[in-house]
Amino acid sequence: MLCVEETIGVRDAAQIPQQRGDLLLDSAVRYTEERHWDVFPGTWLEAVDGAERCSCGRTDCHAPGAHAAGPEWAARATGSAAAVRALWSAQPKASILLPTGRTFDALDVPESAGFLALARMERMNLALGPVTFTPDRRMVFFVLPGAAPKTDELVRRQGWAPEAIDLVARGEGQYVAAPPTRIGGRGAVQWARRPTLANRWLPDVDELMSPLAYACGREAAALRTRRT
């Protein structure tokens, strides 16, 4: 059993110069065994003419090497470690994707707002679940499932218009990329708050909305100021 300080096996981006199949497989298995999360393999990065390209073949891919490989992805998601080993044995470089709306939902915010919200949450002694940050400067907070349908109303209760701030709730029918998945040449998805025994029980979205909406509101105001 993991001690409280031990976390899912993920290394810093600087230590992941390429998408290593053994690290991806090990991480995917541990997500299923230690967190009981469903996972599924996504696209991967391939070397083409000296550059990295997404296996989907699109030169304008929005998330190279880190998106679902087809519309049937939800049916492929599994919580079986044996099935995960078989899937990544077939394609060791496949990205690790986690479906939302099952064991967790996700709140996706700009990185600067996310770090501000984290600081406020710590001062408020709020319980946190795992949090990732991505190479495209986003932060993703894991919360209890069921968050996505009520997020807009919770934002309004905080005094903000949902369409005015950059806070995206991901629930049923969506997914997030998990460490150590790499996104194109931008770097790897990493943990800002790693999964531990201490954060196995996820917070409800209601508990985190005040600091998140505040931080995203400040980010939106700063962006408007820069544009004027």
pLDDT tier for residue 20 given thresholds of 50, 70 and 90: low
Picking from 5-19, 25-39, 194-208, which range would have the lowest pLDDT averaged per residue?
5-19
Q: Which tokens hold the place of 213? A: 């909406």
* pTM (predicted TM-score): 0.89
Provide the pLDDT for residue 16: 33
Give the domain ranges of the chain. 16-227
Position 8 pLDDT exceeds 80 = no
- Per the CB < 8 A criterion, the answer to whether 131 and 106 are in contact is no
Q: How many CB atoms lie within 10 A of CB 203?
A: 18
Position 39 pLDDT exceeds 90 = yes
